Structures are given as structure tokens and as C-alpha cells.
A and B are shown apart, each in its own frame.
Chain A
Amino acid sequence: DTEVTQTPKHLVMGMTNKKSLKCEQHMGHRAMYWYKQKAKKPPELMFVYSYEKLSINESVPSRFSPECPNSSLLNLHLHALQPEDSALYLCASSRSQGADGYTFGSGTRLTVV
């Protein structure tokens, strides 16, 4: 299995809702990432988990809460989002240092209304 699977593919949520994005990989990768991509912009790093521990938080607002339950799963919990948070959320994984490359999922297109 050489894929990163993200669910759901599309999500529409209200500003008072709580929802979660899920990401799964079975490649034995020990680093997992969340990226946010706005239209016509490059992906921007949000969080990095290394060996199930949060190693990088790029000053992301607390309304985004990551969780890594085990080495194969990565969640992003969403609460009280704003319309400007609407974007494509990409999950990626890599071997511990990323030197061998990063595998990306197809993303979740989030719309906040």
C-alpha cells in the first residue's frame, strides 16, 4: 500500500459545528503532516507529527486541533471555524526525516459557511 487516504473528500460545515478530518497510511512512515492550501497558492505547513508526537506547530489557531492516535492515523479536529478557513487540507507522510520524499493524500475540500 503506497497511498495516503483522506476522508472525507468534501466537507461543508457551519461556524458552530465540530468536525474531524482523517488521514491514514500503511507505509510504515513515522512522520505525518497537515498542510492547508488556499486557491492558487502553494500548500502551507500546519503541523508535523514525528513518531506520534507533535514536533512542529506553525502557529496554527487553536480552532484546529491535531491528533495522532497511532503511527498510521492522523486526525485534524475542527471547531468554531471561520469562512476564511475554507481551503484544501492535505495530509502527507514520510519516513522519519522526509529525505526519501513525501506522499500526499488527495485532500479534503473544506467549505465553512
Chain B
Amino acid sequence: AQKVTQAQTEISVVEKEDVTLDCVYETRDTTYYLFWYKQPPSGELVFLIRRNSFDEQNEISGRYSWNFQKSTSSFNFTITASQVVDSAVYFCALSGGAAGNKLTFGGGTRVLVKP
């Protein structure tokens, strides 16, 4: 069975600080897909990034960056120079392999950015 663990339940930072969200996953499959979603208070899940298991290249998109390491089964997410609008719950998720298109979520990390 697939499992995603986000050990940090809540992180509080002051605006302009960097924040890193940890994600550790478990799967027996060799082909799988990892995702990060943002959920603001409005409730909608906003897609941030997708990574497949064969692509370990790190990615940067504006103030967001992701570090995928298969050796440690981790897919961490960093927000650089955080802003108040970054306050939300962030979910790491996993799909693929034997689970097919079933998306398994981690418990989520609530990020609070204070002005």
C-alpha cells in the first residue's frame, strides 16, 4: 500500500522567511507520481507540481522549489521569501503503480505566514 507522511502539522514563520515542508513516501512500485497541492481557506485544492519517479531533477518555479530524492523517498517543498498569501495547508500526494489513479494524501502541513 502507498503511504505519505508529512511530519510537520503546522509551521509558523514571519514574512520573508524561508520555509521547507517535508514529505516522505512509501511505495513498492517503480513507477509512481508525486504531487504537491495548496489548499487555501476557500477549500479548493490548487495543483503546484507533479513529479514522476524517473525524474529526480529538482525544480524551481518562482519562489517555490522542490527537492526530490528517491534514495530517501522524500519530496520536500521550499517556499523562499514567504508572503502572507502563502498561508494555507499544503498536501503532498502519491499515485501510480498498483494504486493506479488513486491519489493518496499526506496529513498536510498548515503554514501560517505572519506579517
Contacts and interface: CB of A to CB of B under 8 A. Distances in A.
Most B Cβ at <10 Å: residue of A31, A42, A48, A98: A42
B47 A100 contact: no
Interface of B: 33, 35, 37, 42-47, 50, 52, 91, 95-96, 100-108
A61 interface: no
Contacts of B91: 42-43
A46 B45 CA distance: 16
A106 B39 CA distance: 10
Interface of A: 31, 33, 41-45, 48, 50, 55-56, 88, 90, 92, 94, 96-107, 109
B95 A109 contact: no
Contacts of B101: 31, 48, 50, 94, 96-98
